[in-house]
Amino acid sequence: MEQHQLVKVSKRMSKVLRHDPARVGLTLDAAGWVPVERFLTAMGLDRPTLDAVVAGNDKQRFAIAVGPDGVERIRASQGHSVPIELGLTPAEPPELLFHGTAAAVLASIKATGLNRGGRHHVHLSPDTGTARRVGARRGGATVILTVLAGQMARDGHTFYRSDNGVWLTDEVPPEYLRVP
């Protein structure tokens, strides 16, 4: 399967596993998992395509694991708007984290900070390259914000690190942002 087709499948998978499992007749468990076989049937995918999408996703958006019952499951690593519990434990962040965004929303971010919107958390990147890729997906000019994560943590804000290296927090107030 060509790369652009894999990207299209990845976007469909993200939509279902993060936001709308009912769209294809699926129900996620409390931690966001669904059996792989059920997922393949609901999505109309074959296993080689699923494996290619999971392995080829540069952001490692999906996780596959065998549950305690021996059944192989899949879930999105983070970014859900449906209620789930990822089982994340608080982690000490590095001093600086980064967030890529569209220049068009910069005035709003300066005023209110970074908010999770309909998701469970604000997503932050450990490096500027990843932040730039994330911010560029919306098109237009991309701005990389520096987040004073170490100071936020010392001031009582909680951070989590997902399995794929994305840093998560409930919000980033404007005083902890440095805008170029």
Residue 59: per-residue pLDDT: 67
Amino acid at 115: N
Amino acid at 174: P
Residue 143's closest CA among 127, 154, 128, 155?
A: 128
Domains of the chain: 3-76 (1.10.10.970), 97-178 (3.20.170.30)
CB atoms within 10 A of CB 102: 16
Residues 40, 52 contacting (CB under 8 angstroms): no
142-147: strand order across its sheet:
97-102, 142-147, 177-178
Following CA atoms 36, 40, 41, 47 in sequence, which dihedral angle do they give, to the nearest 10 degrees?
A: -110
Residue 78: per-residue pLDDT: 75
pLDDT truncated to tens, each residue of the chain (180 aa)? 688 888 899 989 999 998 899 999 999 998 889 999 999 999 999 999 999 998 887 667 898 999 889 999 999 887 777 777 777 889 999 999 999 998 999 999 999 999 988 777 898 999 999 899 888 877 778 999 999 999 999 999 999 998 778 899 999 999 999 988
